[in-house]
Amino acid sequence: MSQGIVPLIDIAPFLHGGAADKARVAAEVDEACHEIGFLLISGHDVPAVLIADMHAMTNEYFALPHWEKMRHKLPADRMRGYSPAESHSLAYSIGEVTPEDLRESFNMGPFDHAYDEYHFGEAGAGFFPPNIWPDLPENIRSLCEAYYRKMERLAGDMMRIFALALGLDEDFFADKIDKHITNFCINYYPPQADAPKEKQLRGGAHCDYGSLTIVHTDTDIGGLQVYTKAGKWETVAHIPDTFSINIGDLMADWTNDQWVSTLHRVTNPPREMSHLSKTSLLFFHQPNYDAPVECLPHCQGPDNPPKCAPTTSGDHIRAKFEKLRAPEFRSAEAGSRSAGK
């Protein structure tokens, strides 16, 4: 089913049906990933009450005084905790210099993982730092962890669909995501009392870095847009009880760009609606840090060699994060590192 440029796909038949149902859903997803790299999904089995509770809690959290949120500010060495508005721009990741994005965020990552060499040794410790939990709202940790678990399950379901869509065994990705390093981010786009600076957006143009991203947002005012093959920015529809899914760089690498990691952005609201805020819940699914990522054999050939060199999930995400921070933040961080030598 089409909703503008981005198709709406019911994945319930895949989750609860037989082989024919799975094949049909996988074919629909394959077409969407070829054409636009975005899809909307229904039939996902995520409780509506949990989604509503998450949005209510996040509204309460971001309404706290600035100084209270800054008590749990995101450190320079990890994506955990609170990040104030205008602290970085997503457009840096594609080499575009713009004013910093007009959004606040709260970030968390995996939890309750095994206490072992993989998670806490030299190679893995940087990917599994402890989460930073504010005191308020009192239910922030319990709700975020419950939501994270539901997204973890849904991401696994989508990776099974992806495998079938690519003509692979349904469990092809299972051993590549069983110790994933996914970052969950709550983005709050505040009202804009002052007009944005030139080229300043709520979220600058970028492609996502991992396997896929699962997004739930509360409005399309100042909403998500994708850059189409026709060279136009198109708004992704906001439909109740659905999630937006987009593939990231790693799926494009696996498929030799047969599946599209699409440029997208979050726009500013019209000035007559600039008093309205927006909140998005984003699950940036990232495979295990040591998961090998290289072009699948059937996605290459003598006349179609691999476009990207083999890498790992961890090496790829590290390189992207180096580009993400604001230039002055990176300079300050480099100075502090030099001083500490």
Cβ-proximal residues to 202 (8 Å cutoff; 6+ apart), any chain: 101, 102, 103, 189, 222, 266, 267, 268, 278
Long-range contacts of 73-76 (CB under 8 A, 24+ apart): 74/105, 74/107, 74/132, 75/132, 76/329, 76/333, 76/336
- Say how far apart CA 183 and CA 74 lie, in whole Å: 13
Q: Is the pLDDT of residue 340 over 70?
A: no
DSSP state of 267: P
Strand partners, 312: 292
Q: What is the pLDDT of residue 328?
A: 42
> If you average pLDDT over residues 186-194, what whole number do you get?
94
User: For residues 273 and 327, which has the higher predicted lDDT (pLDDT)?
Assistant: 273
Residues 205 and 97 sit within 8 Å (Cβ to Cβ): no
Percent of the chain with pLDDT over 90: 76
Mean pLDDT value across the chain: 90
Coil, strand or helix at 183: strand
pLDDT tens for 58-74 read 999 999 999 999 999 99
Q: Is the pLDDT of residue 323 over 70?
A: no
Strand partners, 73: 82
Residue (of 162, 210, 181) closest to 113 by Cα position: 181
Owner of token pair 């594609």: 94
Which residue type does 245 have? I
Q: Is the pLDDT of residue 339 over 50?
A: no
> If you average pLDDT over residues 73-102, what whole number do you get?
85
pLDDT tens for 128-164 read 999 999 999 999 999 999 999 999 999 999 999 999 9
Whole-prediction pTM value? 0.91
Residues 146 and 51 sit within 8 Å (Cβ to Cβ): no
| Banded pLDDT at 233 (limits 50, 70, 90) | very high
What domains lie within the chain, and their CATH numbers?
2-339 (2.60.120.330)
DSSP state of 325: B
> If you average pLDDT over residues 75-90, what whole number do you get?
88
- Say how far apart CA 117 and CA 139 lie, in whole Å: 32
